[in-house]
Structure 1
Amino acid sequence: MNQLCSVLAIQFPIIQGGMGNISSPKLAAAVSNAGGLGTIGCGTMTPVEVEERIVATKQLTQKPFALNVPINVNPHTKELLQLAITHKIPVVSLSAGNPTLYIEKLHAHQIRVIAVVASVKQALKAEQGGADVIVAEGYEAAGINSNLELTTFTLIPQVVDAVSVPVVAAGGIGDGRGLAAAFMLGAAGVQMGTRFIATEEMPVHPTYKQRLLDATDVETVILGRSIGQVRRVLQSPYASSLLADEAEGITLVDYQERTSEIFHIKGAIEGQEQAGFMNSGQIAGIIQDLPTVATLIENMMEEAQNCLNRTLLNNFKDSVRSVQS
């Protein structure tokens, strides 16, 4: 069995990203039921709001799912981790902060810990702190990203060489070719967010999904570089206004207010492109359909296997030609 699947007790090496306040029990359950690892993202929600989503997810699936806690984003980190313990959630994903402060307590309750990192240094620290899985995320990914802006293709092999625990590739992955490429780089699996937005089960505004279907390779933009808080979103009137204000010298407080989850919901859930934003990774340009989650995962696994088999066959043929010549 794949090492990642063994550690997380899942069938396929595919993890759903947290997605913040637009996180959906319906999507998380669908991913888990299809053999991957669904995730409930805490975003900036209160413990009461998160618990409602945990309960709803448990009613929809008997399979393992994860709780993603963005440490420096949500002020209720300790309470959220206690929810994971109380509800016996088997996996906790820790991002946007130092995960090592919480791993020992989670392990004491037999909870596996995923640490989301953006550099080799962060990966080493997470492994030393006891993380069971490392998600290494390139800045091709949607939403809040590291200011280091390392790409997935360069980050993954370096993290794989540095740590011994399973490494998951995140950022710029949306089909079986991406999964196969992640395997070739040494990763044990992938984490996806944007691709799961464009599925039947994800309850976002139809405009959001249509924007992903219509997206080109240059459909996303980076916000927040000027104040050191990088976020990747779809181009929109709202994003353009933010970029214009950045050029004029936006304040940190104003930027944080205008990229809060309130405006994320306005864009993603309400479809108001003039009044809010829609997170998106660069992978949006390859999205051509809105399948069920089960169909997406099944097709990805089949495509990845075909890619790997074709690569092995071609390498074998090249080796034979070399010997014959």
Structure 2
Amino acid sequence: MNIVTELLHIKYPIIQGGMGNISNAKLASAVSNAGGLGTIGCGTMHPEQVESIILDTKQLTTKPFAVNIAINVTPFVDDLIALCIKHNVPVISLSAGNPAPYIPKLHEHGKVVMAIIASVKHAQKAAAAGADILVAEGYEAAGINSNLELTTFTLIPQVVQNVTKPVVAAGGIGDGKGLAAALMLGAEGVQIGTRFIATKEAPFHENYKNQLIQANGTDAVIIGRSLGRIRRVLDTAYVRNLLEKEKNGITLQEFSELTTEKHHLIGAINGDLERGFINGGQVAGLMEDIPSVQELMENMIQTAKAQLKFGLTSIETVVSDN
């Protein structure tokens, strides 16, 4: 039995990461319909816009889906929680802030609460506050990242060792081998974002998808480190200009203005990589095609099963040889 699939009432232990203001019903419903957990990320969107996406998602799927609320990003936390309760959203993902004040109310209304964490300390606090699932996100992930810079391969076993709640691995995962590795590290499932961008159902600009599948292992770069505002994005003309400004001493105010969701939308939706940026995790270096969501997820599961059998055989061979 897989605890995550049981808790979330899904077929596969694969969760879509929240994508902030570029979240949409089409991709979230496709992930849910394919057996995973689709997610609507609220970003800085007004609750009315989020409500519209929730309603559209419910029209496109009867399967469970989640809403991600980035606590310190949105000014509408209470309104968004009320919205999720109103529309019976079964799973709430809380990130970028302390989830403790919100968990009791969500539990009161029967919600499964996932907390996205980046260290053992964060995990223990979220577990003590009552989070049902802990999503441990490594530094390889796209978008806003923790300043702690812990990688997935080291973070997951540390968290698993120190909490009793089920753990989901995130950051740098986009194929079946990554899923198998996460399971071997003690995770109960995975959360992926970047890989879902380059799928047929994802309503993002072709420039974004092509940039991802053409990327190599070093094309997912960090901006904002000098300002304590770490964000992983793809190397584009806009980003190179931003890095040059940062090198020359950009102010926090100017950096914040140049990395607003407005510029994110310009890159991801309009495909203008001169005037906007696109998020991208290090997994981009492994991406070579644009499958359907169903194809991607089924391939992940089949590959993970084969990889786990191969790993077991390899270990038995090593042991027998010695």
TM-score, structure 1 normalization: 0.98
Q: Give the match for residue 242 of structure 1.
A: 242
Q: Give the match for residue 90 of structure 2.
A: 90
Matches within 5 A, 1:88-237: 88-237=88-237
Q: Give the match for residue 55 of structure 2.
A: 55
Equivalent pairs, count:
322
Q: Give the match for residue 17 of structure 1.
A: 17
Partner Cα distance (1:254, 1:266) in 2: 18
Q: 1:247 deviation in Å?
A: 1.1
Q: Give the match for residue 79 of structure 2.
A: 79
- Render the CA deviation track for 1:68-113: whole Å, top value 9, x for unaligned: 0000000000000111100010000000000011000000000000
Q: Give the match for residue 278 of structure 1.
A: 278
- Render the CA deviation track for 1:155-198: whole Å, top value 9, x for unaligned: 00000001111101000001000000001100000000000001
Amino acid at match of 1:191: Q
Aligned with 2:232: secondary structure?
Answer: strand
Aligned with 1:218: secondary structure?
Answer: coil
Amino acid at match of 2:133: V
TM-score, structure 2 normalization: 0.99
Q: 1:318 deviation in Å?
A: 2.9
Q: Give the match for residue 287 of structure 2.
A: 287
Q: 1:320 deviation in Å?
A: 3.0
- Render the CA deviation track for 1:225-274: whole Å, top value 9, x for unaligned: 11100000000111011111111111111111110100000001001111
- Render the CA deviation track for 1:24-72: whole Å, top value 9, x for unaligned: 1000000000110000000000000000000000000000000000000
Amino acid at match of 1:108: E
RMSD between superposed Cα atoms in Å? 0.7
Aligned with 2:100: secondary structure?
Answer: helix
Matches within 5 A, 1:250-261: 250-261=250-261
Q: 1:319 deviation in Å?
A: 3.0
Aligned with 1:101: secondary structure?
Answer: coil
Amino acid at match of 1:30: A
Q: Give the match for residue 8 of structure 2.
A: 8
Partner Cα distance (2:255, 2:149) in 1: 19
Amino acid at match of 1:198: A
Aligned with 2:141: secondary structure?
Answer: coil
Gaps of 5+ in 2: none
Q: Give the match for residue 302 of structure 1.
A: 302
Aligned with 1:36: secondary structure?
Answer: coil
Q: 1:321 deviation in Å?
A: 3.2
Q: Give the match for residue 268 of structure 1.
A: 268
Over the matched positions of the two proteins, sequence identity in percent amounts to: 59
Gaps of 5+ in 1: none
